[in-house]
């Protein structure tokens, strides 16, 4: 009996240590890479004249979702992918820690080849922010969406009902197309693994002040701040030239 109790005690300790290790271990490299990829997508789109998001919109937006998605197949096409979401505090202008999200789409049509799609979604109003409170939402259904204007000097005027501005850049080959809606879901498992908190949600991270900004995300947030500053720089340039 004593031996049995001893074994049970050891087993309990081992299970406890395993759970602690699995939840509180350092963030997996794959998740750090997802944050790094988000920064790369942001830099690539912002530094290319034909895709640059107007600085006024970066400054004005209330949140951002940066995604890397994939499409492949013949006849049937499946698009899935991963990304991160961040929101901006309206009072302080500070960005939140990143929350992990994932994408899933289905389509049917004549499709040849494969395609990788980098996308940045700017959340522009209350409707878009409310969308982020859901564990699953569909772009264009749960919140209105439109293709965003590009170029440093592009007009930043928006319709009052535009919740999301979408900026996308495709890589690879793709022939044929179907109309499809993009679905974005909370990636709860990734958030638990990265932040080491069991049961943490996207909403906790973005709106609940549940975690501090991790060191691994500071490069992405600094990049967002840099592109926001372009708005003030452009304003100063225009003021100088108008004098």
pLDDT in tens, 118-167: 889 999 998 889 888 888 887 766 677 787 887 665 555 566 678 888 88
Between 11 and 152, the higher pLDDT residue? 152
pLDDT at position 144 is 77
What is the domain partition of the chain in residue ranges? 26-237
pLDDT average, residue stretch 164-171:
82
Distance, CA of 137 to CA of 10 (rounded, Å): 45
* Spatial CA neighbour of 152 closest among 42, 61, 47: 47
Cα-based distances in Å from 225 to 58, 59, 117, 141, 218: 9, 9, 24, 30, 10
Whether residue 204 has pLDDT greater than 80: yes
Q: What percent of the chain has pLDDT over 90?
A: 40
229's CB contacts (< 8 A; 6+ apart) are: 55
Q: What percent of the chain has pLDDT over 70?
A: 66
189 in Cβ contact with 149 (< 8 Å) = no
Segments of 42-113 assigned E as strands: 63-72, 76-87, 99-108
Least confident range from 85-89, 104-108, 113-117, 183-187: namely 104-108
- Going by the DSSP 8-state scheme, the letter that residue 48 receives in this structure is S
Q: Which of 24-33, 96-105, 196-205 has the highest mean pLDDT?
A: 196-205
Check the CA dihedral 26-31-37-42 and report its sign: negative
98 in Cβ contact with 84 (< 8 Å) = yes
């Amino acid at each position: 009996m004593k031996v049995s109790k001893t074994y049970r005690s050891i087993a309990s300790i081992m299970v406890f240590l395993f759970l602690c290790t699995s939840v509180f271990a350092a963030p997996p490299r794959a998740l750090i890479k997802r944050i790094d990829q988000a920064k790369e997508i942001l830099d690539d789109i912002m530094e290319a004249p034909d895709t640059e998001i107007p600085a006024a919109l970066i400054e004005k937006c209330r949140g951002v979702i940066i995604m890397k998605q994939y499409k492949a197949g013949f006849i049937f096409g499946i698009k899935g992918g991963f990304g991160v979401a961040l929101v901006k505090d309206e009072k302080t202008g500070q960005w939140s820690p990143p929350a992990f999200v994932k994408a899933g789409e289905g389509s049917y049509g004549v499709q040849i080849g494969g395609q990788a799609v980098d996308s940045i979604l700017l959340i522009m109003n209350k409707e878009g922010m409310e969308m982020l409170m859901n564990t699953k939402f569909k772009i264009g259904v749960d919140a209105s969406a439109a293709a965003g204007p590009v170029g440093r000097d592009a007009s930043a005027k928006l319709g009052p009902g535009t919740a999301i501005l979408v900026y996308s850049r495709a890589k690879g080959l793709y022939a044929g197309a179907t109309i499809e809606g993009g679905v974005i879901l909370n990636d709860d498992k990734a958030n638990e693994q990265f932040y080491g908190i069991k049961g943490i949600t996207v909403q906790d991270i973005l709106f609940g002040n549940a975690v501090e900004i991790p060191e691994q995300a500071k490069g992405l947030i600094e990049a967002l701040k840099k592109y926001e500053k372009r708005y003030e720089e452009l304003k100063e340039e225009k003021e100088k030239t108008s004098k």
